Amino acid sequence: MAKSRTLNIQDSPITVIQQNETDFISLTDIAKHKDSKHTDTIIQNWMRNRNTIELLGFWESIYNPDFNPIEFEGFRNKAGLNSFVMTPKRWIEKTNAIGIISKAGRYGGTFAHKDIALEFASWISIEFKLYVIKEFQRLKDEENDRLKLEWNLQRTLAKVNYQIHTDAIKESLIPNEITKLQASFVYANEADLLNVALFGITAKEWRELNPDKKGNIRDAATLEQLVVLSNMESINALLIQQGLSQGERLLQLNKVAITQMKSLLESKVIKKLKE
């Protein structure tokens, strides 16, 4: 399901969805600013213009390797004539366009890449376009700030606990004068101990279950899981120093993971960070 956010512009809610990590702004919502009862007609009238067809075609030529230039040229030659009719669905089907999306259903409508949507907003009203740009930029700034906050939290927690964890492993688990290969094997084993305690599977098992996902099991973790994982590294270091076996530590760490996850999922601080 596409992620949805809302821009509030002059009492007009404008929906923004993200598909394939790209923002698409609702043309239907922008059209409502002009006439809430005839949004489809407004969009179709905009798409009848030669300038609009050229804009859509040139955008697709730049960003879409599967774009059909022959169909585009045909539309371009007819654009502006009284007999010329264009709809989002027809444009998409005939040219393999990706800059415009037509979604059916109650929460559907016509969406366009922000480059295209802003041109449509300009056609509706220059003033309205400026408000859309300002509000869209505010939304992106908020998203970037939240991502930076999460990244900084993850990085800080990792730095604080990494040295504690690795030192404990070196002191308690790694014999003297072993090879780097043996040392790396021990580290990987301990990392998977934490993975199993928190996620229920090893890193290898996660990759086998998620062959299409980028990164690793920890890249896919939630903010709460990363906080617990960082705490578990410190706890594991103490358990190692106490001489507990891996099996004993796994049980202890799993209990910690369950308790802390339950607590964090109800934490108002964590919820605020994710708002």
The string of pLDDT tens digits covering residues 3-58 is 677 877 777 788 888 887 788 989 999 998 888 788 999 999 999 999 999 999 99
pLDDT-based confidence at residue 167 (cuts at 50, 70, 90): low
State which of 58-62, 149-153, 235-239, 262-266 shows the largest mean pLDDT: 58-62
Q: Quick one: how far is CA 96 from the chain centroid?
A: 24
Between CA 57 and CA 45 the distance in angstroms is 17
Residue 169 predicted with pLDDT over 70: no
Between CA 250 and CA 239 the distance in angstroms is 10
- pTM score, whole prediction: 0.50
Can you give the pLDDT at residue 116? 92
Least confident of 49-53, 183-187, 236-240, 255-259: 183-187
Beta-strand runs (E) in the chain: 3-9, 12-19, 22-26, 100-103, 109-113
Q: Are 119 and 33 in contact (CB under 8 A)?
A: no
Residue 130 predicted with pLDDT over 50: yes
